[in-house]
Structure 1
Protein backbone atom coordinates (compact mmCIF):
# COMPACT_ATOMS: atom_id res chain seq x y z
CA UNK A 1 0.00 0.00 0.00
CA UNK A 2 1.22 3.45 -0.79
CA UNK A 3 1.47 6.22 1.75
CA UNK A 4 -1.31 8.05 -0.08
CA UNK A 5 -3.79 5.16 0.28
CA UNK A 6 -2.87 4.66 3.95
CA UNK A 7 -3.52 8.35 4.67
CA UNK A 8 -6.80 8.24 2.76
CA UNK A 9 -7.93 5.16 4.70
CA UNK A 10 -6.99 6.84 7.97
CA UNK A 11 -8.85 10.04 7.10
CA UNK A 12 -11.99 8.16 6.07
CA UNK A 13 -12.00 6.11 9.27
CA UNK A 14 -11.49 9.25 11.40
CA UNK A 15 -14.33 10.97 9.56
CA UNK A 16 -16.69 8.04 10.07
CA UNK A 17 -15.79 7.83 13.76
CA UNK A 18 -16.51 11.56 14.16
CA UNK A 19 -19.92 11.15 12.54
CA UNK A 20 -21.11 8.81 15.27
CA UNK A 21 -23.75 10.97 16.90
CA UNK A 22 -25.20 8.42 19.30
CA UNK A 23 -23.75 6.93 22.46
CA UNK A 24 -25.10 4.39 24.95
CA UNK A 25 -27.59 5.92 27.37
CA UNK A 26 -26.14 6.15 30.84
CA UNK A 27 -27.34 7.52 34.11
CA UNK A 28 -25.12 9.65 36.31
CA UNK A 29 -25.58 7.96 39.65
CA UNK A 30 -24.39 8.59 43.20
CA UNK A 31 -22.71 11.94 42.67
CA UNK A 32 -21.55 13.00 46.12
CA UNK A 33 -22.27 16.52 47.26
CA UNK A 34 -19.08 18.37 48.31
CA UNK A 35 -20.35 18.43 51.91
CA UNK A 36 -23.17 16.94 53.96
CA UNK A 37 -26.38 18.91 53.37
CA UNK A 38 -29.89 18.82 54.69
CA UNK A 39 -32.49 17.49 52.28
CA UNK A 40 -33.74 21.07 51.82
CA UNK A 41 -30.22 22.38 51.08
CA UNK A 42 -29.67 19.58 48.55
CA UNK A 43 -32.95 20.43 46.85
CA UNK A 44 -32.05 24.13 46.74
CA UNK A 45 -28.63 23.38 45.20
CA UNK A 46 -30.27 21.20 42.54
CA UNK A 47 -32.91 23.78 41.69
CA UNK A 48 -30.32 26.59 41.51
CA UNK A 49 -28.12 24.46 39.25
CA UNK A 50 -31.08 23.75 36.98
CA UNK A 51 -32.07 27.40 36.72
CA UNK A 52 -28.51 28.50 36.03
CA UNK A 53 -28.38 26.23 32.96
CA UNK A 54 -31.88 26.91 31.66
CA UNK A 55 -33.50 23.67 32.83
CA UNK A 56 -37.10 23.76 34.06
CA UNK A 57 -37.20 21.75 37.27
CA UNK A 58 -39.89 21.00 39.78
CA UNK A 59 -40.10 18.96 42.93
CA UNK A 60 -42.08 15.76 42.39
CA UNK A 61 -41.72 14.32 45.88
CA UNK A 62 -39.21 14.48 48.74
CA UNK A 63 -35.91 13.41 47.24
CA UNK A 64 -37.06 13.61 43.61
CA UNK A 65 -36.96 16.51 41.14
CA UNK A 66 -38.04 16.36 37.50
CA UNK A 67 -35.93 18.36 35.07
CA UNK A 68 -36.62 19.35 31.48
CA UNK A 69 -34.20 20.99 29.06
CA UNK A 70 -35.48 22.45 25.78
CA UNK A 71 -32.81 23.51 23.29
CA UNK A 72 -33.89 24.39 19.76
CA UNK A 73 -36.02 21.42 18.70
CA UNK A 74 -34.50 19.03 21.26
CA UNK A 75 -36.10 18.10 24.58
CA UNK A 76 -34.53 16.11 27.39
CA UNK A 77 -36.23 15.02 30.62
CA UNK A 78 -34.35 13.63 33.60
CA UNK A 79 -35.24 12.60 37.12
CA UNK A 80 -32.89 13.89 39.79
CA UNK A 81 -33.02 11.58 42.80
CA UNK A 82 -31.26 12.95 45.86
CA UNK A 83 -30.46 12.48 49.52
CA UNK A 84 -28.50 14.73 51.86
CA UNK A 85 -25.21 13.25 50.68
CA UNK A 86 -25.60 12.45 46.97
CA UNK A 87 -27.73 12.76 43.86
CA UNK A 88 -28.33 10.89 40.62
CA UNK A 89 -29.37 12.25 37.23
CA UNK A 90 -31.46 9.57 35.50
CA UNK A 91 -32.71 9.59 31.91
CA UNK A 92 -36.50 9.85 31.74
CA UNK A 93 -37.56 10.88 28.22
CA UNK A 94 -36.49 12.88 25.17
CA UNK A 95 -37.55 14.22 21.78
CA UNK A 96 -35.35 14.64 18.70
CA UNK A 97 -32.31 13.10 20.39
CA UNK A 98 -32.21 9.88 18.35
CA UNK A 99 -33.13 7.74 21.38
CA UNK A 100 -33.70 4.12 20.36
CA UNK A 101 -33.96 2.37 23.72
CA UNK A 102 -30.22 1.89 24.22
CA UNK A 103 -28.51 4.81 22.47
CA UNK A 104 -29.05 8.55 22.38
CA UNK A 105 -27.50 11.64 20.77
CA UNK A 106 -24.08 12.33 22.28
CA UNK A 107 -25.23 15.79 23.42
CA UNK A 108 -27.23 14.04 26.18
CA UNK A 109 -23.98 13.22 27.96
CA UNK A 110 -22.72 16.81 27.69
CA UNK A 111 -25.94 18.33 28.99
CA UNK A 112 -26.22 15.83 31.85
CA UNK A 113 -22.59 16.18 32.96
CA UNK A 114 -22.88 19.95 32.81
CA UNK A 115 -25.91 19.70 35.10
CA UNK A 116 -24.01 17.45 37.54
CA UNK A 117 -21.08 19.89 37.67
CA UNK A 118 -23.31 22.92 38.15
CA UNK A 119 -25.33 21.26 40.93
CA UNK A 120 -22.08 20.40 42.74
CA UNK A 121 -20.89 24.00 42.37
CA UNK A 122 -24.16 25.27 43.84
CA UNK A 123 -23.80 22.89 46.80
CA UNK A 124 -20.52 24.47 47.96
Structure 2
Protein backbone atom coordinates (compact mmCIF):
# COMPACT_ATOMS: atom_id res chain seq x y z
CA UNK A 1 0.00 0.00 0.00
CA UNK A 2 2.82 2.42 0.88
CA UNK A 3 4.55 1.77 -2.45
CA UNK A 4 1.36 2.52 -4.41
CA UNK A 5 0.88 5.75 -2.46
CA UNK A 6 4.47 6.88 -3.12
CA UNK A 7 4.14 5.96 -6.78
CA UNK A 8 0.92 7.93 -7.07
CA UNK A 9 2.49 11.03 -5.45
CA UNK A 10 5.57 10.74 -7.71
CA UNK A 11 3.38 10.47 -10.78
CA UNK A 12 1.36 13.53 -9.71
CA UNK A 13 4.58 15.54 -9.28
CA UNK A 14 5.85 14.53 -12.72
CA UNK A 15 2.56 15.44 -14.39
CA UNK A 16 2.44 18.83 -12.68
CA UNK A 17 6.04 19.61 -13.67
CA UNK A 18 5.37 18.57 -17.27
CA UNK A 19 2.54 21.12 -17.39
CA UNK A 20 4.93 23.85 -16.30
CA UNK A 21 7.37 22.98 -19.09
CA UNK A 22 5.00 24.34 -21.73
CA UNK A 23 5.95 27.94 -20.95
CA UNK A 24 9.47 28.88 -21.91
CA UNK A 25 11.40 32.17 -22.12
CA UNK A 26 10.46 34.25 -25.17
CA UNK A 27 13.01 33.75 -27.94
CA UNK A 28 14.38 36.85 -29.71
CA UNK A 29 16.65 35.68 -32.54
CA UNK A 30 19.29 38.23 -33.56
CA UNK A 31 20.97 36.93 -36.69
CA UNK A 32 24.06 38.25 -38.44
CA UNK A 33 23.88 37.85 -42.20
CA UNK A 34 27.10 36.27 -43.42
CA UNK A 35 26.31 36.43 -47.14
CA UNK A 36 26.47 39.54 -49.32
CA UNK A 37 22.89 40.77 -49.63
CA UNK A 38 21.30 44.12 -50.37
CA UNK A 39 18.59 45.59 -48.16
CA UNK A 40 15.99 44.72 -50.80
CA UNK A 41 17.12 41.07 -50.96
CA UNK A 42 16.94 40.81 -47.14
CA UNK A 43 13.41 42.20 -47.30
CA UNK A 44 12.52 39.71 -50.04
CA UNK A 45 13.96 36.80 -48.03
CA UNK A 46 11.94 37.77 -44.94
CA UNK A 47 8.68 38.26 -46.86
CA UNK A 48 9.09 34.97 -48.73
CA UNK A 49 9.91 33.01 -45.56
CA UNK A 50 6.88 34.49 -43.82
CA UNK A 51 4.61 33.69 -46.74
CA UNK A 52 5.82 30.08 -46.87
CA UNK A 53 5.23 29.68 -43.12
CA UNK A 54 1.72 31.23 -43.32
CA UNK A 55 2.70 34.49 -41.58
CA UNK A 56 1.00 37.67 -42.80
CA UNK A 57 3.94 40.02 -43.36
CA UNK A 58 3.50 43.79 -43.70
CA UNK A 59 6.26 46.28 -44.41
CA UNK A 60 5.95 49.14 -41.92
CA UNK A 61 8.93 51.19 -43.10
CA UNK A 62 12.32 50.50 -44.67
CA UNK A 63 14.03 48.03 -42.36
CA UNK A 64 10.88 47.07 -40.42
CA UNK A 65 8.38 44.30 -41.16
CA UNK A 66 5.48 43.26 -38.93
CA UNK A 67 4.34 39.64 -38.91
CA UNK A 68 1.08 38.07 -37.80
CA UNK A 69 0.46 34.35 -37.42
CA UNK A 70 -2.96 32.88 -36.66
CA UNK A 71 -2.91 29.23 -35.69
CA UNK A 72 -6.25 27.79 -34.61
CA UNK A 73 -7.31 29.91 -31.62
CA UNK A 74 -3.83 31.38 -31.12
CA UNK A 75 -2.34 34.45 -32.74
CA UNK A 76 1.00 36.16 -32.36
CA UNK A 77 2.48 39.42 -33.63
CA UNK A 78 6.18 39.99 -34.23
CA UNK A 79 8.35 42.81 -35.56
CA UNK A 80 11.41 42.12 -37.68
CA UNK A 81 14.02 44.86 -37.77
CA UNK A 82 16.59 44.33 -40.51
CA UNK A 83 19.58 45.80 -42.33
CA UNK A 84 21.79 44.33 -45.05
CA UNK A 85 24.03 42.93 -42.27
CA UNK A 86 21.59 41.56 -39.67
CA UNK A 87 18.01 41.15 -38.51
CA UNK A 88 16.14 40.45 -35.29
CA UNK A 89 12.74 38.88 -34.69
CA UNK A 90 11.00 40.56 -31.75
CA UNK A 91 7.86 39.48 -29.91
CA UNK A 92 5.14 42.15 -29.89
CA UNK A 93 2.01 40.50 -28.47
CA UNK A 94 -0.10 37.37 -28.62
CA UNK A 95 -3.45 35.90 -27.73
CA UNK A 96 -4.07 32.55 -26.02
CA UNK A 97 -0.36 31.66 -25.69
CA UNK A 98 -0.15 32.04 -21.89
CA UNK A 99 2.38 34.84 -22.17
CA UNK A 100 3.63 36.62 -19.08
CA UNK A 101 6.75 37.32 -17.06
CA UNK A 102 8.91 36.98 -20.17
CA UNK A 103 7.59 33.49 -20.87
CA UNK A 104 5.25 32.09 -23.50
CA UNK A 105 3.92 28.78 -24.80
CA UNK A 106 6.72 26.74 -26.38
CA UNK A 107 4.99 26.75 -29.79
CA UNK A 108 5.90 30.43 -30.20
CA UNK A 109 9.61 29.63 -30.09
CA UNK A 110 9.13 26.78 -32.58
CA UNK A 111 7.30 29.11 -35.00
CA UNK A 112 9.98 31.80 -34.67
CA UNK A 113 12.84 29.29 -35.05
CA UNK A 114 11.26 27.92 -38.23
CA UNK A 115 10.82 31.43 -39.61
CA UNK A 116 14.42 32.34 -38.74
CA UNK A 117 15.76 29.18 -40.40
CA UNK A 118 13.74 29.88 -43.57
CA UNK A 119 14.96 33.48 -43.71
CA UNK A 120 18.56 32.26 -43.49
CA UNK A 121 17.94 29.70 -46.24
CA UNK A 122 16.36 32.34 -48.49
CA UNK A 123 19.27 34.73 -47.89
CA UNK A 124 21.78 32.09 -48.92
CA UNK A 125 19.78 31.29 -52.05
CA UNK A 126 19.47 34.98 -52.98
CA UNK A 127 23.21 35.58 -52.42
CA UNK A 128 24.07 32.90 -54.99
CA UNK A 129 22.04 34.58 -57.75
TM bracket, shorter-chain basis:
0.7 to 0.9
Q: Hey, what's the Cα distance between the residues in 1 that align with 2:4 and 2:34?
A: 53
Which runs of structure 2 are paired with 1:29-108 in the superposition (5 Å)? 29=30, 31-108=31-108
Give the total of aligned pairs.
122
The residue number in structure 2 matching 1:22 is: 23
Q: 1:37 to 1:5 in 2, by over 3 A?
A: farther
| Structure 2: distance between partners of 1:114 and 1:34 | 19
Inter-partner Cα distance in structure 1 for 2:37 and 2:81:
14
1:78 match: secondary structure:
strand
Larger Rg computed on CA atoms:
2
- In 2, are the aligned partners of 1:23 and 1:105 still within 8 Å (CA)? yes
For structure 2, the residue ranges without an aligned partner over 5 or more in a row are 125-129
- Give the TM-score normalised by the residue count of structure 1: 0.86
In the TM superposition, what whole-angstrom CA distance separates every residue of 1:47-87 from its partner, at most 9, and x where no partner exists? 00000100000111111100000000100000001111211
Native 8 Å contact 1:34 1:123 kept in 2: no
Query: Cα 1:10–1:35, aligned 2, differ >3 Å: closer, same or farther?
Result: farther
Q: CA deviation at 1:28?
A: 1.4
Matched, 1:110 2:86: no
Normalising to structure 2: TM-score of the pair?
0.83
